[in-house]
């Protein structure tokens, strides 16, 4: 059990339903006269949707009606629908589970097989749930959002289904042996719920219990224990968070001999209060509130620090991984073993338990290496460690799955910009891992090479970036180059293989660049903290420095340089547009934040105050305004052509910020401002492969056209 589970859920926007801030009245001091485009915040309003449809028609005619667009879309769709893709799996007991979408099953199949079958070139799959068939039977457009199954039997699961691809889901109990939903079982209507098994007849649930049950961020404020056969209204409250907290959740660890229950209150995106539920009460865990996470596994407690932590007479650095026996910790001992200590070049990306070992995934200048640690048999002594087999240069190796309850089995995903992804399986102590599945090559990688470069940002900080380019690249400034970035929430951009990028950009002769700017997690918490709140401009200075370096080196020139980013990366794009328009020939801005004055009142925006600051506080608005693209737009500027795309069903960031930005720019007289809004797909911009291919092709063809 780990409190990283709710953390990941929140990062992905698995939030609660209820009245969103986009539906609430504007706060005091923000009247309609202050913003002539507030009417676009009425997400499904007739006037707003008429505007969306008109914009879509114009953009489609301009960029999505040519044979070249159709070719790009179809070649991307071939990648997304390919039967030769790796069917990634997760082990639950004796079976390997997979969710699969293709041309014949656009909404997907939830299925499973055995390891023996999976080793075959064409495994036989047992289909558990055909989402397309379910939609046909129910007259719905469900999008599968995952399932949590009750171990160790894994016969009962809580399946989440979204009506439109957004984060709000219906939850239904599913019976694996009969392949059917359980009549009279646990069931929740569409909401942004969080659920977890306690045992066969009890679950933890956070959902929309009615007025007052949501935090300001629109996440669960109350977590309850719900017993089978009783109405949801009779569920017993376990804990209530404060209205200004972000959310609360509870989890049960079913490991035999180590059964425990935990409650986690997320006070903001980077701070938590952690409790052990014991004897009907809660015992506070004396952990740093800003810990990146804690993990209780059998007799061990792991703590990942974000900032230096002094305890037990010792000070541990931020970005470290610490270990102590759980019972010792609860008894007051604080003699932690340091399992990972960062340095100037390294950061801990993740860790994963097997039955007897711990695997660390370490980033060394944004490239992966794995280490295996073995806990001491007694006490809190040294943890022997050994390196795992290396990976190709400029690659990413991640632990895709383990079986910590039963064995030392591990699954590795290996990928690189020019190396088709592979899935390997091994058993620690059992020899080298074997490659079970290999993705095909979707483009000819022999024509290209990958290089990592470093550039000094405005304040002198050394910023890395990856460049994928033709081997015969001419440094004459003429190459159409696409620069991608994110720079937020401690998210790292690591090497990865993309058939879509290869086909839609590289094969055309383009150069693709990924900037590892501050705000991300490439060098651990310090890299993220360097661009928080009042320091946000550092991330944008880093991205601009990479753009300038590409021009300085002769890779491209401003009129041939495009930029792309989504979500927080969309905010990055908005700031490139308004702060550095001279550096770019075109910008694709996807599912973005842009109106930083209103963002805390739009969709789930209040949950990100710890990242950006609170614009309703005049003192914080003073620095937030410096990176709020919507407020920083000016008439008479030479802005590069820009495409905003979003989705109506995005209940995380929401579509209204992209709508308002496009409308405001057009209202100022800017001609090369394009907008497209997909109806489905949520924050991911596509509910199925066909929609995703259309959206990606639109962005790539727009950029290619504008950068000629």
Reading the block at residue 377, the tokens are 């048999």
The reported pLDDT for the residue numbered 13 is 35
Say yes or no: 56 and 103 in one domain: no
Q: Residues 560, 683, 694, 696: which is the catalytic one?
A: 683
The reported pLDDT for the residue numbered 24 is 36
Q: Residues 162, 249, 368, 567: which is the catalytic one?
A: 567
Residues 6+ apart with CB under 8 A from 416: 391, 392, 393, 394, 395, 396, 450, 495, 496, 497
With respect to residue 461, please indicate whether it lies within any of the assigned structural domains: yes
Give residue-wise pLDDT tens across range 350-375: 999 999 999 999 999 999 999 999 99
- Which residues make beta-bridge pairs with 158? 148, 173
Sheet with 346-353, side-by-side order of all strands? 346-353, 358-364, 367-373, 385-387
Sheet with 109-113, side-by-side order of all strands? 90-92, 95-100, 109-113, 126-130
Q: How confident is the model at residue 23 (pLDDT cuts 50, 70, 90)?
A: very low
Q: Tokens 């609430």 identify what position?
A: 24
Residues 6+ apart with CB under 8 A from 594: 570, 571, 574, 628, 629, 630, 657, 658, 660, 661
Supply φ then ψ for residue 111, to 5 degrees.
-150, 170
Q: Could you tell me the residue range of the domain that residue 179 belongs to?
A: 86-191
Closest C-alpha to 137, from 114, 161, 113, 115: 161
pLDDT at 389 over 80: no
Greatest CA separation for the chain: 72
Range name among 27-41, 119-133, 677-691 with the lowest pLDDT average:
27-41
With respect to residue 147, please indicate whether it lies within any of the assigned structural domains: yes
DSSP strand pairing (281-284 vs 271-278): antiparallel
Closest C-alpha to 683, from 650, 644, 646, 655: 650
The reported pLDDT for the residue numbered 1 is 36
Q: How confident is the model at residue 22 (pLDDT cuts 50, 70, 90)?
A: very low
Closest C-alpha to 29, from 454, 617, 642: 617
Reading the block at residue 305, the tokens are 């620090």
With respect to residue 402, please indicate whether it lies within any of the assigned structural domains: no
**Count of residues for the chain?**
708
Question: Over the range 117-142, which residues count as b (16 or more CB within 10 Å of their CB) and which as e?
Answer: ebeeeebebeebbbbbeebeeeeebb
Closest C-alpha to 362, from 337, 398, 335: 398
Reading the block at residue 505, the tokens are 């950009």
The whole-angstrom separation of Cα 269 and Cα 23 is 23
CATH number where 471 lies:
3.40.50.1820
The reported pLDDT for the residue numbered 121 is 95
Residue 535, judged by CB atoms within 10 A of its CB (0-12, 13-18, 19+), counts as: middle
pLDDT at 20 over 50: no
Residue pair 143/162 in contact (Cβ under 8 Å)? The answer is: yes
Give the three-state DSSP class for 494: coil
The whole-angstrom separation of Cα 187 and Cα 159 is 9
Give the orientation angle of helix 656-667 with respect to helix 46-63, to 10 degrees.
70
Q: Is 638 a catalytic residue?
A: no
With respect to residue 351, please indicate whether it lies within any of the assigned structural domains: no
Say yes or no: 60 and 161 in one domain: no
The whole-angstrom separation of Cα 658 and Cα 645 is 7
Give residue-wise pLDDT tens across range 417-443: 999 999 999 999 998 899 999 999 999
The whole-angstrom separation of Cα 272 and Cα 248 is 9
- Which residues make beta-bridge pairs with 91? 96
Q: How confident is the model at residue 3 (pLDDT cuts 50, 70, 90)?
A: very low
Residue 461, judged by CB atoms within 10 A of its CB (0-12, 13-18, 19+), counts as: middle
Q: How confident is the model at residue 25 (pLDDT cuts 50, 70, 90)?
A: very low
The whole-angstrom separation of Cα 413 and Cα 397 is 6
Say yes or no: 184 and 67 in one domain: no
The whole-angstrom separation of Cα 359 and Cα 429 is 13
Give the three-state DSSP class for 274: strand
Say yes or no: 561 and 622 in one domain: yes
Say yes or no: 57 and 178 in one domain: no
Q: Where are the beta strands (DSSP E) in 79-207?
A: 90-92, 95-100, 109-113, 126-130, 143-149, 156-162, 169-175, 180-181, 187-191, 194-199, 202-206
Angstrom CA distances, 48 to 45, 54, 269, stand at 5, 10, 32
The reported pLDDT for the residue numbered 627 is 98
With respect to residue 412, please indicate whether it lies within any of the assigned structural domains: no
With respect to residue 653, please indicate whether it lies within any of the assigned structural domains: yes
With respect to residue 664, please indicate whether it lies within any of the assigned structural domains: yes
Reading the block at residue 232, the tokens are 């949801």
Say yes or no: 581 and 659 in one domain: yes
Dihedral sign for Cα atoms in the order 433, 147, 254, 114: negative
Range name among 3-12, 47-56, 178-187 with the lowest pLDDT average:
3-12
Say yes or no: 114 and 152 in one domain: yes
Say yes or no: 605 and 680 in one domain: yes
Give residue-wise pLDDT tens across range 602-638: 988 999 999 999 999 999 999 999 999 999 999 999 9
pLDDT at 390 over 70: no
DSSP strand pairing (202-206 vs 222-227): antiparallel
Give the orientation angle of helix 689-706 with respect to helix 46-63, to 10 degrees.
60
Whole-structure pTM value: 0.93
Closest C-alpha to 614, from 637, 597, 593, 595: 597
Give the three-state DSSP class for 583: helix
Chain-centre distance for alpha carbon 86: 20
Say yes or no: 54 and 160 in one domain: no
The whole-angstrom separation of Cα 111 and Cα 99 is 6
Reading the block at residue 378, the tokens are 């007694």
Say yes or no: 476 and 563 in one domain: yes
Q: Is 446 a catalytic residue?
A: no
Closest C-alpha to 397, from 511, 497, 315, 252: 497
DSSP secondary structure string for all residues of 645-687: EEETT--SS-SHHHHHHHHHHHHTT-SSEEEEEESSSGGGT-S
The reported pLDDT for the residue numbered 686 is 77
Closest C-alpha to 630, from 616, 644, 619: 644
Q: Which domain-ending residue is among 166, 191, 216? A: 191
Give residue-wise pLDDT tens across range 538-573: 999 999 999 999 999 999 999 999 999 999 999 999
Q: What is the dihedral of CA 221, 222, 228, 234, to 10 degrees?
A: -120
Closest C-alpha to 12, from 650, 671, 689, 677: 650
The reported pLDDT for the residue numbered 165 is 86
Residue 705, judged by CB atoms within 10 A of its CB (0-12, 13-18, 19+), counts as: middle
Reading the block at residue 537, the tokens are 């401009």
Say yes or no: 460 and 594 in one domain: yes
Residue 381, judged by CB atoms within 10 A of its CB (0-12, 13-18, 19+), counts as: exposed
With respect to residue 254, please indicate whether it lies within any of the assigned structural domains: no
pLDDT at 76 over 50: yes
Q: What is the mean pLDDT of residues 188-216?
A: 94
Q: How many domains does the chain have?
A: 2
Q: Which domain-ending residue is among 141, 169, 191? A: 191
Give residue-wise pLDDT tens across range 145-184: 999 999 999 999 999 999 988 888 999 999 999 999 999 9
Angstrom CA distances, 580 to 257, 478, 518, stand at 58, 20, 17
The whole-angstrom separation of Cα 384 and Cα 702 is 53
What's the CA angle centered on 607, arms 689 and 604, to 5 degrees? 45
Q: What is the mean pLDDT of residues 277-298?
A: 95
H or E, element range at 303: strand 300-304
DSSP secondary structure string for all residues of 243-255: TTS-EEEEEEE--
The whole-angstrom separation of Cα 6 and Cα 497 is 28
pLDDT at 447 over 70: yes
DSSP strand pairing (511-515 vs 194-199): unpaired
Tell me: cis bond preceding 68? Omega within 30 of 0 counts.
no
pLDDT at 471 over 60: yes
Q: Which domain-ending residue is among 191, 206, 222? A: 191
**Rounded CA Rg of the chain:** 25
Say yes or no: 556 and 477 in one domain: yes
């Amino acid at each position: 059990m780990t409190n990283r589970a709710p953390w990941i859920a929140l990062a992905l926007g698995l939030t609660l339903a209820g009245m969103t801030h986009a539906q609430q009245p504007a706060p005091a001091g923000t009247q309609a006269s202050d913003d002539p485009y507030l009417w676009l915040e009425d997400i499904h309003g007739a006037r707003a949707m008429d505007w969306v449809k008109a914009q879509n028609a114009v953009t489609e005619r301009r960029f999505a009606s040519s044979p070249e667009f159709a070719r790009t879309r179809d070649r991307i769709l071939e990648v997304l629908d390919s039967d030769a893709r790796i069917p990634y799996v997760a082990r639950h007991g004796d079976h390997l589970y997979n969710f699969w979408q293709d041309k014949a099953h656009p909404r997907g199949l939830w299925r499973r097989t055995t390891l023996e079958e999976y080793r075959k070139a064409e495994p036989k799959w047992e289909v558990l749930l055909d989402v397309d068939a379910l939609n046909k039977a129910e007259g719905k457009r469900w999008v599968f959002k995952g399932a949590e199954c009750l171990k160790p039997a894994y016969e009962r699961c809580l399946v989440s289904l979204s009506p439109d691809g957004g984060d709000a889901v219906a939850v239904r109990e599913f019976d694996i042996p009969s392949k059917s939903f359980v009549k009279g079982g646990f069931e929740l209507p569409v909401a942004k719920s969080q659920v977890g098994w306690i045992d066969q007849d009890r679950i933890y649930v956070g959902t929309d219990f009615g007025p007052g049950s949501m935090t300001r961020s629109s996440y669960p404020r109350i977590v309850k224990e719900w017993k089978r056969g009783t109405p949801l209204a009779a569920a017993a409250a376990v804990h209530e968070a404060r209205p200004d907290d972000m959310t609360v959740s509870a989890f049960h660890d079913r490991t035999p001999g180590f059964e425990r229950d935990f409650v986690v209150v997320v006070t903001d995106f980077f701070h938590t209060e952690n409790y052990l539920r014991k004897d009907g009460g809660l015992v506070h865990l004396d952990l740093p509130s800003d810990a990146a996470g804690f993990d209780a596994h059998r007799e061990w407690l792991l703590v990942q620090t974000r900032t230096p932590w002094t305890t037990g007479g010792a000070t541990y650095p931020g970005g470290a991984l610490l270990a102590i026996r759980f019972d010792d910790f609860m008894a007051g001992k604080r003699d932690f073993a340091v399992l990972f200590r960062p340095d100037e070049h390294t950061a801990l990306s993740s860790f994963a338990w097997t039955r007897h070992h711990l695997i660390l995934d370490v980033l060394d200048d944004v490239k992966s290496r794995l280490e295996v640690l073995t806990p001491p048999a007694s006490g809190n002594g040294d943890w022997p460690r050994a390196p795992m087999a290396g990976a190709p240069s400029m690659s990413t190796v991640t632990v895709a799955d383990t079986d910590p309850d039963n064995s030392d089995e591990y699954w590795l995903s290996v990928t690189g910009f020019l190396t088709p992804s592979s899935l390997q399986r091994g058993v620690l102590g059992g020899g080298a891992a074997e490659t079970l599945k290999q993705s095909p090559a979707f483009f000819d990688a022999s024509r290209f090479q990958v290089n990592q470069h470093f550039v000094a940002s405005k304040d002198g900080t050394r910023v890395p970036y990856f460049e994928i380019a033709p081997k015969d690249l001419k440094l004459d400034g003429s190459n159409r180059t696409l620069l991608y970035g994110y720079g937020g929430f401690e998210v790292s951009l690591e090497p990865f293989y993309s058939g879509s990028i290869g086909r839609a950009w590289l094969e055309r002769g383009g150069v693709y660049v990924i900037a590892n700017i501050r705000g991300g997690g490439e060098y651990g918490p310090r890299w993220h903290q360097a661009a928080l709140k009042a320091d946000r401009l550092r991330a944008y200075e880093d991205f601009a420095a990479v753009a300038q370096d590409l021009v300085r080196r002769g890779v491209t020139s401003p009129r041939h340089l495009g930029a792309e980013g989504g979500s927080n990366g969309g905010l990055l794009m908005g700031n490139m547009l308004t702060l550095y328009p001279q550096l770019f020939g075109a910008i694709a801005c996807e599912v973005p934040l842009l109106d930083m004055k209103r963002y805390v009142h739009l969709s789930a925006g209040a949950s990100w105050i710890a990242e950006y600051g609170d614009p309703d506080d005049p003192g914080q608005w003073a620095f937030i305004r410096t990176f709020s693209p919507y407020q920083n737009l000016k008439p008479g500027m030479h802005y590069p052509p820009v495409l905003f795309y979003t989705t109506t069903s995005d209940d995380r960031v929401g579509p209204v910020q992209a709508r308002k930005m496009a409308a405001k720019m057009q209202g100022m007289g800017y001609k090369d401002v394009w907008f497209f809004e997909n109806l489905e797909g949520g924050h991911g911009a596509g509910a199925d492969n066909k929609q995703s291919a259309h959206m990606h092709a639109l962005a790539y063809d727009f950029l290619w056209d504008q950068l000629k």
